Structures are given as structure tokens and as C-alpha cells.
Structure 1
Amino acid sequence: MSDSQKREALIHAHEFRHATKQFDTSKSIDQADFETILEVARLSPSSVGLEPWRFLVIENKALREKIKQTSWGAKDKVMDASRFVIILARTAADVRYDANYIKTHYLDTLGFKPERVSGIRQMLEHFQRDDFKLLDDPRYLTDWAKRQTYIPLANMMTVAAEMGIDSCPIEGFNELEINQLLGAEGLLDGGNFTVSVMVAFGYRVNVPYPKTRRPVTDVVQWVE
């Protein structure tokens, strides 16, 4: 494939992708294809490599029904989509610079040496306390973690589109009620996670309208 063909294929995938409102219940996503989508999510970048997320793949029909009753944005999609994912974000208790999760993540998961971890935590403290004022309110730290979950969300939808799989991101839910539901199901690790966003995957029923966007001259500014 030539460079121009690669560029064309990338643009085509984004032209194909749209927020699918109705999924074909007769079609299922191949397991290997969906595992590829999840692997792309796992490999997504995060601020200082914190990986402040978890991906709940909701296969349980009874739980999907409960989500349907709680989330107005997912009401139809959660039942009809081939795959339904809730992306969780780590809460302030885990992403504060002195949190145990940060220490163990760098030491045990990433294999950093203790002195390097100490330097990273000092940098994080400065960033959180002075640069972004995230320590002024625990909500700020949690929101910081939530914003990062949108990176794997976008990557998942992009690679799905490249494989001809439809998707729909969902924010139409009551955060408190969904957290209560997931907490009762034992899915929030006792409060170390909170719901961030949902996303449904499957295959469209209807052909969407042609995509429209603001002109490139309105959204891109070259600063020379």
C-alpha cells in the first residue's frame, strides 16, 4: 500500500465512524477483533504512564438490563450492541502523587528503580500542587484521571472503524446512580474507581447521513 493509499484509508475510517444509534442484534463482533480493540485501549498513552483506567466489558445480560434502567443514553444500545464497555477512572485516592497505587505501579508493573520512582513522585507533587492546582479538591484529581480515559476511548473507536465495526460513546447517565450500581456489583474496588464514560460496539442498522464538520480553516490555525 502506498503512502497516499494509507492516508486515504485512515480518512475513510474516520468518515465511516459515526455515533451509531441503532445496532443490528443479529450481528456479533468476532472475539479476536474485539480483543484487538481492547489491546489498543490497554496500550494507549497516559500522563506519566499512570494507566488510571479499567475497562469493564459488560457481557452479563442482567447487569445490562440494570444499566438500561439507569442510563438514559445507553437505554437501547446497552441491550442491542454486540459489546458494551464501561470505562472506569481511578479516583483521587489512587492518582494523588503519594498514593500507594502510584508507588506500586512504577515499582512492580513498570519495573522502575526506587530512586526513579521517588523523582517521579516529586515531579507529580509539583505538577498536581502548583501547575494544575489538582490538590485543591479531590474532585480535581479524579477529573484529571477521567480526562485521560478519553484517550483509549478514541483509540478504541478508531481501530474499530478501521475494521468496519461501529461504535457509540455514551455520557448520558447519572454518575451517582451508575456508581451505586457498579459498587453494589463489586466492580469499583471499594471506591478506588469511578465511572468515566461508556462505549457500545457492534454493527449499524441504518446508513448514516454524510458527515459534516466545520471547515479546516475554522478549526486549524498554523502558527509560524
Structure 2
Amino acid sequence: MRRFVRSHATELALLAVIAVICVFLSFATDRFFTLGNAFDLLNTSSVNIIFAVGLLVVLIAGGIDISFAVAASVVQYLAATVLGWIGGGNWIVGLIIAGALGVALGCINAFLIHRFRIISIVATISTFNIFFGLLMFFTGGVSIYNLPDWLTTRVVLFEREMADGTWAEITLPVLIMAICVFATWTLITRTTTGRQLYAFGDNPEGARRFGINI
């Protein structure tokens, strides 16, 4: 038990802080510890958590990505545009297109950092401005409103009527979030690549001398 506490001190400290916040909020409002509120928190936080687990991998490797928020906006616009070009689609097609576009933009950052040995924060600040500038240039700052119904309709995976007549719902982004969290946890804790990321983030030169291909 003592070994577990020592090896997970940071995680346990964060859990303690979250517990204190939850206790405070439970006294502040009687609706905090309700199923509806828990589902609302999951639905509204799912996209941010997806961003967070992606950024976590970069941070573990000793880098930082400033451009991910703008890259997400670019991916959203391009994915919606591509779906319009092909005349439709569904959630699976949309996820594949968005994922491919996200990987492509990430590869641009990776190329700049690896090929030219640019510090990650400098490279991603540059691509942040480039991505944002190109997005504003080609769109004129105009949003896309003519979207297919399947893209604008909430996909409800689970719903339950509460005693007060309101509905508690779990939507598709929560499922995607759970998959991303599990995949990231598996990568950084159960694979050789994850251990190499930790080693590289802690000591790049030591990792290189140990034989890790960086």
C-alpha cells in the first residue's frame, strides 16, 4: 500500500483535490450529486478531454503543442467541406475524414520539429498562426451552416427520465472520449512506445544513448 501511494502520489493528490471540490459543490447545490448533472458534465467535457489526452502524449514526450485548438477548427471546417463534396456520409465516414485530416496536420508539426530541429513550442506557435491565417483567408471568416441533418443531430446513446420529468442523456462524444482515454492509457502504460515516450521526455540524450530511435 505504501509503495502504491509513493508511485501514484501525483494522481492521488489530484483525486484528493477533485474530492474536496465535489464536497464543496455538493453543499453549494443539491443538484450536483445527481445523474443528470453527471451526464451533463460528461457531455460538455468530452471534447476538451479528447483534446487533453492527445496533448498529454505530447507533454510526456517533453514537448508542447500550441496549435491543437486551431488545428481542430481547421479539421472541422475541412471535414464539413469534404462531406459536402462527396454528397453526404455518416458518423463513421466523418470520423475517418476528421481523423485523417488531424493526422496530416500533426505530421506537419512533426516534420518541422524533427527535420529542422525546431523547439516544439516555436514550431507549433508558427503553425498556429499559419493554420489560423489560412483558415480565415479561404473562409473569409464565414461559418458553414448548410450541414447534413445527421451531422447536426445529437446521437443519444443512453437516456433516462428523471423524477422531475427531465431527461439525462449520454451522447456520442462521450463514447469517443472513453475510447480515446482508454487508448491513450494503454499506449503510455502498457506499451514499449509509451515507456520510450517517458524516457525521451525525461532525458532525450539518455534515451538516445540507451538505443531509442529518436
TM-score range for the pair, normalised by the shorter chain length: under 0.3
TM-score normalized by the length of structure 1: 0.26
TM-score normalized by the length of structure 2: 0.27
Larger radius of gyration: 2
- Structure having the higher helix fraction is 2
- Structure having the higher strand fraction is 1
**Larger relative contact order (CA 8 Å, sep ≥ 6):** 1
